[in-house]
Chains A and B, each alone.
Chain A
């Protein structure tokens, strides 16, 4: 479990994260959403101990990630959005660097490369951006860590690779791990990420499971504009409208509409979800 309490961070005079309090639990694949510049990547790097909190604390399994204890480092992996095209075959990279993670599973890496249709014998500096990304995603999942942080993992993936990524996340994440994915590509991951975290400038607007969201908000996909919508958006087939859920009927959560609703009604959404 990760407990983030009143976390704050700034770059010089520019604060990016402020008053961040939330708990991340095992067995979940969290989706971390937020506009450009709200500090998603900063949060991920703080969580994995690359940066030191300037205020508040992060406690991962009772430990402070910035202490960088080897026992915790081998339990976490941070997949950056920017991956190094090293002069090595993918399989060699996996064999050499996998050693740093206690439960690294080379067979799992090979299986993932198979699923991603990427040749593990290929030199990483000769790969396309998408192949390189998939190699690192495969490596990240093969590390079998309890804590996995991924920054925009579907960026640069082609259409079939996105489906492969969803499949990989369903098959190869551990049941007792905390996975946190920061993303703007919510359509790629709509049915994968749950719970959803929405970061605002220096605040957590929402941290709730899809179940909880569909209990409290109703997403209407009709053609009629109705009164009292918190948010509405026209689509080619009609419109998406978001209402407070008054009937208890569970609708499909549209994450883009959720995001926009949360941004237009910050106070209301925060109050509704109690965080």
Chain B
């Protein structure tokens, strides 16, 4: 896995799992790899993956079955969608608006 964004690695791992939930490649109740397996796959310290899993668990996106592993929550899709909408409107959209202003693009041009 190539980590390019400026976000902390554990957050990038969260984002990557959320993206796979939205795309449908991780379905509700699907098991995700253990922290070690996942760490090995992407070449990352298992403790970092643990931090990602803890965050996703706290947000209700995944759940832990003791001794068995981590699974995708039934409402994961809904939760991720809501969170990403909020994120888009609060941090990405204002940047886009700023860029549109900067470049002086008119509404007509945008809708073309």
Using a CB–CB cutoff of 8 Å, the interface residues on chain A facing chain B are 27-29, 163, 166-171, 191-194, 210-211, 214, 219-221, 250-253
Contact = CB atoms under 8 A, between A and B. Distances in A.
B28 interface: no
B46 A170 contact: yes
Contact of B7 (A191, A192, A250): A250
Given A167-B41, A191-B45, 4 more contacts: A166-B43, A170-B44, A192-B43, A221-B6
B9 interface: yes
Contacts of A221: 6
B27 interface: no
Nearest to A169: B45
Contact count band on B: 20 to 34
B43 A163 contact: yes
Nearest to B49: A170
Given A167-B43, A170-B36, A171-B36, A251 B6 contact: yes
Contacts of B51: 211
B11 interface: yes
A29 B5 CA distance: 24
6 smallest A-B Cβ distances: which pairs? A166-B43, A170-B39, A170-B40, A250-B8, A191-B44, A171-B40
A252 B47 contact: no
B87 to A, nearest CB: 13
Contact of A194 (B7, B42, B48): B48
